Structure 1
Amino acid sequence: MKLEWTGSKAHLGIAFAFFLPIAAAVAGEPVLVLNPYAGIDWQAAKQHKGNFHTHSKQSDGEFSPDQVIDEYHERGYHILAITDHNGCTFPWQKWERKPEDLGMVAVPGNELSRHHHALSLFSDFASSGSNLDTVLKELTAHSKEGLAVIAHPAMHWPKQFGPAPGLLIPLATPLRQVTRGDFTVEAWVRTTDAGRHILIGNYTGSDHGALNLELHVKNRVRVYVQPTGKKRIVDINIPADRLGINTRDGQWHHLAGIREKRTVSLYLDGKLAGTAPDTAEDYDLWGKYYYVGRDSRTDGTILNGDLDLVRLWGSALSAAEVAQLAAGKTPGKGKALARRNLLLEYDFETSSGVPLRENTRIEPVVDDTAGHPQGPFPAIATATTPVWCIPNTSGATRRVSERVGSFRPRSGAQRVTKAALQHYVELYQKHDRLVGIEVVNGTRPLKEYPLDRELWDKLLGALMPTRPVWGLASDDMHAMKHLAHDWLVVPSATLDQESIRQAMLRGAYYFSTERIHGPAGTATSKPPQIQAISHDPKAGTLTVQAMDAEKPLPNEAYQWISLGRLVHTGPRLDYASAPGIGNYVRLEITGPGGTTFTNPFGFGTE
């Protein structure tokens, strides 16, 4: 039986076996029943390059729509969707650009962003809804042409279905009200990661009361004081280079944010980094929890490093007292500062009164050792929280405890959970217009890419061949640094909106990325370009011809993947006899300039 998926009815009347065992799905000799590239005349087809995830100043992009169009046009793109958040930036004529004059196809769409983000394409549909399932139903009712693609899934599912990162401090009244007066928030941190790291905080992304202490990007340090209502924010964000300090050198550094008499100050290693007038005034912290190693978000701001002696004070420490702490003095011991206004303190030595075991996951709590009369305020760690107790081996034991908290990702610590997979499977089963998923997104952290590919493979294992999920690479362009690193290519003899839409429905395109191959700008050439894909049903083979700058690629460049595992190397796959092939196979082709992905081929049995 050969299946042709048109998008009009994803299951084609064939019942899904939810999480059907793969061995049962392909018991016997596999037969190719779904080929997204069938019908392409590769000799007549032209290679049309496109990007389906782009932002402009109409939402949170750096450039106006006409500038965005011009930048992509100059780089040889033929297809472009400007997908500003929750609003359709279309037609281009509003910004004095005519697609036909540029030899481009303008695809209407937007990024539906009030829930798990999804791209709405080929339609002017927009929604204020906060539930993706409901919004996808609205999209279907709104337009016969509208399609949708799941955007950057690893940005979303870990929040709902993954292990909770960081530690949670229930916001008891003394903690919630600490920002009604003078305060000090401080911690020791050690990392070599150049990214952004929240040490302690509760910022939500909205205008609720928040207090964050963090290492920012580009060796910057930051204290962020936000009352309810964003107009009175105090944001001290200072390059540590000004103090001659490298905060990412793998050594311990002390950071303290202080408010005293309507002035906010930030100290690094006992040195004053910056001050600002306190425009925030008195307010309460918002939310159910204060967090250690993150804030209310669980995206690219999670700490990748070690913490110790995290403290929150209900008073402003003096410059001399901060210097004592930075020198490793312990409050309340010897001539060190008193502990009377110390609200909470985590030294990562005990949990529920029992010494923490080194090199083990911390649970159920980290004890609060401040001794405040209204405390203690232990920090909660769930059974899956990726925070470990490790010995301090840096030689800086005079400054930090013998044991410290490690917030570093461990090998294999983050995997796509069964609950996350089931959530996405149900979405794809329910919504025919949901045709694809971003496998590569140009703005997301590199550490998310393996998770996005793992999710794609698991979805294909659960749904193929009767319900394909097509992959996608996109720039998610907000700024110049995101431009033209991730794209799709539609091989087609025609270039118009309907032919591009049909290619999206059938998966009749491939996609490429420079970014996961290495740092932007280091590639010496572009990713491989596919010249032809052919199928010989009698021989049971699939053959792909690809070139790297008009040069053939070695056999090892071709990696055939099935069920998330490598099953064959080389441009020709003998699927009739190759071991390990499940209900689908897809191809990754890697050259000096990046990686190119095919969409999946589906298998059944005679």
Structure 2
Amino acid sequence: MGYSKHPLRGTWSRNDHHRSRKAGLAILLMLLGISTLVQGCSELKPRVIVVVDPYANIDWSSFGQYKANLHTHTTQSDGSLTPDQVIDEYHKRGYSILAITDHNLCTWPWTGFADMPRRGAARKSDVEAEEKEDAPAPYPPYENRDPEALGMLAVSGNELSRHHHMGCFFIEHETDSRDEDRSMVEIGEKGGLAMLYHPGRYWKVCEHNTIPAEVVKRYVDWLAAYEHLVGLEVVNQGRRYQNDIRLWDEVLTAMMPDRPVWGFSNDDMHGRGQLGRDWNTFVLVRLDEAELREALRGGQFYFSTIGTHPGESRNVAETPIIHSITHNHRAGTITLTATSGGEPLPETQYRWISEGRVVHTGPVLDYLRRDGIGRYVRAELVGNGGTTYTNPVGLRHP
């Protein structure tokens, strides 16, 4: 059957019709192909990109895990144990890294304790003993300790306490300064690293149980100004300042991923009752000062406390130990494996936090598809006897 001639459109042949149908089909297939390609690209394009991963360089099968306390007092300031007694107590509990941080004083080196002038609580007890005939000093003479013989890494430290308390490490620094900024500058000039201790001592929550904006700004400003200020002590002495973890989340929300801020957990030990409750675990290729410095700068550690649990259930052995943290860039997942008391941690005991909110429960986080993820994500692992925290992974939204 042919086509009739139209006075305005000219004459169409059957071949013209077939050619038109073929052309239309080709265009349709091309459009479908473009649509599929665009859809595929959309699926491949990540919604968020990991730009800060403190665990990226760890070989979990070969690196060692080293328990550390970075806030410790002796009778040289206001502690009740002599320096050698403090070291012995931590050593027998399996600690590998210890910083003695007496107030405004470097109790250093470990091999020089015996000849060290007695100060603080020790000196006070000596004076009192001298005033009483034949009364012995309550604190025995100091004994030296060799960290190498003990298999420990000794870290020189000091808690600068005439302003907001801060720990300084790897330097012998003592100062009378009452100005935080001056102290920070001095620590940096000497090549030390710093940490802000127990922030919650210096502020209170607002009427609606929120952290004051000016408080968050104060810590953000300090952290932005001083690169050698590596982070905040978010767990102190059994979590006596429970809002410090909330402050950490506020600071992370403001600064990540451009300025990572690492979290720490320390005993702030003054006596045996405060010993061994809050600790950091550094994951290092070997135990030496250079590796520890890099781990402090890079966040290559996790931290734990038994202070999250009721007194009768607190148990260091039942606090989660992390065995691996792996990041699959292609799949967009971060996977944790951990045990508590030697048994695999149940999946319901892994929770992921972003901007102060729980965004996921389980050992595997799909950060490409999970809603509610902001500029960082961190994990909390809850065991039967305590809680373990990871440092934050920094995320950028393209």
Structure 2 residue 233 is the aligned partner of structure 1 residue 441: no
Note the aligned Cα RMSD (angstroms).
1.6
1:520 deviates by: 6.7
Deviation at 1:526, TM superposition (A): 2.9
Residue number among 284, 287, 305 corresponding to 1:495 in the alignment: 287
CA contact (8 A) 2:305 2:388 kept: yes
Q: How does 1:117-266 map to 2 (within 5 A)?
A: 117-141=165-189, 143-144=190-191, 146-158=192-204
1:534 to 301, 326, 334: 326
Q: Does 1:42 align with 2:56?
A: no
Partner of 2:350: 558
> Aligned partners of 1:481 and 1:524: how far apart in 2?
14
Is residue 524–residue 592 contact of structure 1 (8 Å, CA) maintained in 2?
A: no
Query: Contact 1:528/1:596 (CA < 8 Å) preserved in 2?
Result: yes
Once the two structures are TM-superposed, the CA of residue 522 in structure 1 deviates from its matched residue by: 3.9
Corresponding residue for 1:103? 151
TM-score under structure 1 normalisation? 0.52
User: Which residue of the partner structure matches residue 430 of structure 1?
Assistant: 225
Q: Report the CA distance between 1:444 and its aligned residue.
A: 5.8
Extract unaligned runs of 5+ from structure 2. Answer: 1-44, 114-143
Give the aligned partner of residue 417 of structure 1: 212
CA distance in 2, matches of 1:524, 1:61: 23
Greater helix fraction, Structure 1 or Structure 2: 2
Report SS of the residue matched to 1:573. strand
Change (3 A) 1:600 1:100: same
Equivalent pair of 2:277/2:316 in contact (CA under 8 Å): no
What does residue 71 of structure 2 align with? 53
Take 1:542 and 1:549, find their aligned partners in 2: how far apart are those partners?
23
Opposite residue 36 of structure 1, the aligned amino acid is P
How much has 1:493 moved relative to structure 2?
2.3
Q: Deviation at 1:518?
A: 2.0
- How many residue pairs get aligned? The number is 324
CA contact (8 A) 2:278 2:306 kept: yes
Q: For 2:332 and 2:313, locate their aligned partners in 1 and report how far apart those are by CA, in whole Å.
A: 40
Residues 152 and 444 of structure 1 are in contact (CA less than 8 Å); yes or no, is this contact kept in structure 2? no
Match of 2:392 in 1: 600
Aligned to 1:114: 162
Report deviation, 1:492.
1.5
Tell me if structure 1 keeps the 8 A contact 2:306–2:316.
no
Q: Is the 8 A contact 1:441 1:486 kept in 2?
A: yes
Secondary structure, aligned partner of 1:525:
helix
CA distance in 2, matches of 1:118, 1:526: 30
Counterpart contact for 1:443–1:477, Cα < 8 Å? no
Greater Rg, structure 1 or structure 2?
A: 2
8 Å CA contact 1:81–1:108 kept in 2: the answer is yes
Q: Is the 8 A contact 1:513 1:596 kept in 2?
A: yes
Residue 469 of structure 1 aligns with an amino acid whose one-letter code is: V
Partners of 1:605 and 1:434 lie apart in 2 by 26
Q: CA contact under 8 A between 1:109 and 1:123: conserved in structure 2?
A: yes
Instruction: Calculate the TM-score normalised by the size of structure 2.
Output: 0.79
What residue identity is the alignment partner of 2:83?
A: P
**Out of 506, 509, 530, which is 2:298 matched to?**
506
Q: Unpaired runs of 5+ in structure 1?
A: 1-26, 164-383, 385-411
Q: CA deviation at 1:454?
A: 0.7
Q: Secondary structure at the match of 2:317?
A: coil
- Structure 2 residue 126 is the aligned partner of structure 1 residue 80: no
Q: How far off is 1:104 after superposition? A: 0.2
8 Å CA contact retained: 1:82, 1:110? yes
Report the structure, 1 or 2, having the larger strand content: 1
Shift of 1:549: 2.0
In structure 2, the residue matched to 1:67 is 85
Note if contact 1:436-1:471 (Cα within 8 Å) is conserved in structure 2: yes
Kindly report which structure 2 residues correspond to 1:451-530, keeping only aligned pairs within 5 A, or say none. 451-519=243-311, 522-523=314-315, 525-530=317-322
Separation in structure 2 between the aligned mates of residue 588 and residue 75 of structure 1, nearest angstrom:
24
- CA deviation string 1:311-356 (max 9, x = no partner): xxxxxxxxxxxxxxxxxxxxxxxxxxxxxxxxxxxxxxxxxxxxxx
What is the CA–CA distance in structure 1 between the aligned matches of 2:63 and 2:337, rounded to whole Å? 14
CA contact (8 A) 2:238 2:305 kept: no
1:456-508: CA deviation from partner (whole Å, max 9, x where unpaired): 00000000011011000000000101000100001122001111111000000
Secondary structure of the 2:308 match is helix
1:548 and 2:340 are equivalent in the alignment: yes
Output the CA distance in 1 between the equivalents of 2:67 and 2:55.
Answer: 16
Deviation at 1:593, TM superposition (A): 1.1
Note if contact 1:514-1:520 (Cα within 8 Å) is conserved in structure 2. Answer: no
Question: Counterparts of 1:561 and 1:444 in 2: how far apart (Å)?
Answer: 19
- Distance of 2:253 and 2:232 partners within structure 1: 15
